[in-house]
Amino acid sequence: MRPFRFGLQSYAPETAEQWRTQARRAEDLGFSTFSVADHVIGPGPALAATGHPVQTVAVIPAMAVAAEATKTIRIGSRVLCADYRNPVMLAKELATLDFFSGGRLELGIGAGWLQGEYDAIGVPFETAGTRLDRLEEIITLLRAAFATGQLDQAGKHVHAVGFEAVPKPVQQPPKLMIGGGSRRVLGIAGREADIVSLNFDNSSGRLGAAGVGSSTASLTEQKIGWIKAGAGDRFDDIEIEIGAYFTVVTDDAATVAKMATMFALDEAEFADHPHALIGSVDSICAQLTERRDRYGISYVTFGASVMEAVAPVVARLAGT
């Protein structure tokens, strides 16, 4: 049984100092990782149509600032969009982050899914199959770039030939997190990742009730099966992570029912939803323990808005 580990994810600091303060506070409270997602566009009709909140800061420089502000906490990308950058530049930037942070990079990557953002910034939103083919080639590049030796990869989506990647990361290699919610990406994650991040099936290209409904308890069990199928004998070596997107520390028993109606789920379904943690500190600790037993989920990431509220959970369970 893997010990519990907890991450904190932030999207939208109002000031640079708030960002640094959040990272330091997460470190002080015992969180394992301070992470940021990878979304680009700001307020406006394009973002509103996706249902996604604003992320104010760019992922790579935000990770660098968090690393510089802290001493021990791991700095994560949860998760990078494989389509938004030249793969060779991405590999160099990530290795540089690990180099300067003294080996604290936690590298998360996914195939990309927010179609409205792709459209708004002029990146072609190709079929899921093409995006996943590209992700697989990028994973191959990252592993080769972080190792020694000359790169010689001339694929359909990645070209890196005739040079050795520098710098080398301190970690050899950095742990790889792959996130997603569909069968193929979770199979790839099972085969390739050190950490698998369970997410909604966002094939609709936007956030909404359909995505939330794709991650109920029974459908999460199915996703674990897809990871196992990809992993084979290495499944026990994989850490399973999940975002606790709907976390409320409360003694109000009516909270679950109120939130369930927002996503067209009944109360029992939402109470058991793996991405939801609602109740007292004692209740949330019990839910986490039950879900680790049921799914193998031992790594849970909370949003920055609930950092102080969940601090007692982290203090009680981290490392146990």
pLDDT digits (tens, 9 = 90+) for 141-153: 999 999 999 999 9
Residue 107's pLDDT is 98
Strands 80-81 and 195-198, sheet pairing: unpaired
**Could you report the per-residue pLDDT of 18-53, keeping only the tens digit for each?**
999 999 999 999 999 999 999 999 999 999 999 999
Residue 320's pLDDT is 97
Q: Please state, in angstroms and rounded to a whole number, the distance separating the CA atoms of residues 185 and 110.
A: 8
Residue 53's pLDDT is 94
Residue 42's pLDDT is 97
Answer positive or negative: Cα dihedral of 128, 191, 172, 37: positive
Residue 87's pLDDT is 98
Enter the tokens of residue 303.
């949003």
Point out which residues pair with 9 in neighbouring strands: 35, 303
Residue 212's pLDDT is 87
**Could you report the per-residue pLDDT of 200-239, keeping only the tens digit for each?**
888 777 777 888 888 999 999 999 999 999 999 999 999 9
Enter the tokens of residue 244.
């606790």
Enter the tokens of residue 225.
């099966």
Enter the tokens of residue 236.
């026990």
pLDDT < 50: residue spans in the chain? none
Residue 201's pLDDT is 85
| pTM summary value | 0.96
List the domains of the chain with CATH numbers.
5-317 (3.20.20.30)
Are the beta carbons of 311 and 27 closer than 8 angstroms?
Answer: no
Point out which residues pair with 110 in neighbouring strands: 81
